[in-house]
Amino acid sequence: MGLYNKYILPKVVNWACKQKPTMRQREKVISLATGNVLEIGIGSGLNLPLYNCENVKHLSAIDPSKEMWNKNKIDTKKLPFEFCFTTAFAEDIPEDNNSFDTVVITYTLCTISDTNKALQEMRRVLKPNGKLIFCEHGKAPDKDIQKWQNLINPFWNRLGGGCNLNRDIPLIIEESGFKINNMETMYIPGWKPTSFNYWGTADPH
């Protein structure tokens, strides 16, 4: 899987993540980011044009895949806010405690190996009055769709770079020390086992 993960998977993931339904979902949440912002799993930088330059002072971004980040098409030197990128995993964020006003995750929790540790790290780097902004796909509410998600997931996980179709996103977030204060859900256009979305905000507590 080495050559696949290095050369083919980044192209497949980038193509999937920039489809119109997912980009519309990103637009719903990215504009909520304020102050000193950390984006977890920035990938190829699809969220960069969506940030509100009047509200964002500095954006730090991490991603474990340098191959994905190399697909970025935006000149980050021309962004209307300060920006820095670091190759790193969400389970070990190379930032100080209480550093950020906002942490952003979009279509990221599905691939993180240890979601509890990663979210605890996000809590650590957030200021006490900071907020987590999320937009994720995951476990569908319909039993028939859940059956398909569970059946397909092992194969999907292997080909999708560790992506999981059936994670219970709100449960994962709240069991890791966050309180969801606003959340919406829906099937976005697409194949139903992959298209049930959760998005909103959560506070560390």
**Rounded CA gap, 89 and 76, in Å?**
21
For residue range 68-90, list pLDDT tens digits in order.
999 999 999 999 999 999 999 99
Which tens digits make up the pLDDT trace of 28-79? 999 999 999 999 999 999 999 999 999 999 999 999 999 999 999 999 999 9
3-state helix, strand, coil in the chain (%, to 5): 40, 30, 35
pLDDT tens sequence across 136-188: 999 999 999 999 999 999 999 998 889 999 999 999 999 999 999 999 999 99
Contact predicate 43/63, CB 8 Å: yes
Which of 151, 150, 155 has its CA nearest to residue 167?
150
